[in-house]
Amino acid sequence: MSLLRVLGRPMLASMFIAGGMESVRNPKAVAPVAEPVVEPVTERVPVLPDRTEQVVRLSGAVQVAAGLMLATGRMPRLAALAIAGTLVPTTLAGHRFWEAEDSAERTEQRIHFFKNLSMLGGLLIAADDTGAAPSLLWRGRHTTQDLRREARLLRHSVRATTGPAATAGRIRAKLPV
């Protein structure tokens, strides 16, 4: 594994581990801000809890668990996707700069919005990073090609041996017993 991955993954994950811990410990602080985004999501996704505080706590738990997985390199692609899935509603709920009345607050929220957007980009890159190993799609294609080549070789081998075997069988059938 490259040094960039060894250093970069924990650095990217640190923000989500810290923020997720805060959401798990104190969901009431975030729940009022999250309500406008959580309500429409829970209506469309019936498996999510009904209370906003529970959804905030669940999102925080996902961020902590996936952040630890990303930081330690355990299933980093899946972990990055899980964090990205929690980051979108978090950003939309927490940094609605377009609704801010005050110019200074609008500027601050815009900065945080684009910071989260940048982290989302990093997570998407991490989710696509195969760690210098071939992707599953590449492996699948090459396994298919290998199987086809082996089947073709087997077919040629069978054809090459059936001719002489058939001839030997005809000769043997004509011989007296």
HEC profile of the chain: CCHHHHHHHHHHHHHHHHHHHHHHHCHHHHHHHHHHHHHHHHHHCCCCCCCHHHHHHHHHHHHHHHHHHHHHCCCHHHHHHHHHHHHHHHHHHHCCHHHCCCHHHHHHHHHHHHHHHHHHHHHHHHHHCCCCCCCHHHHHHHHHHHHHHHHHHHHHHHHHHHHHHHHHHHHHHHCCC
Question: Residue-wise pLDDT tens for the chain (177 aa)?
Answer: 688 888 999 999 999 999 999 999 999 988 888 888 888 888 888 888 888 899 999 999 999 999 999 999 999 999 999 999 999 988 988 888 998 889 998 999 999 999 999 999 999 999 988 777 777 788 888 899 999 999 999 998 888 888 888 888 888 888 887
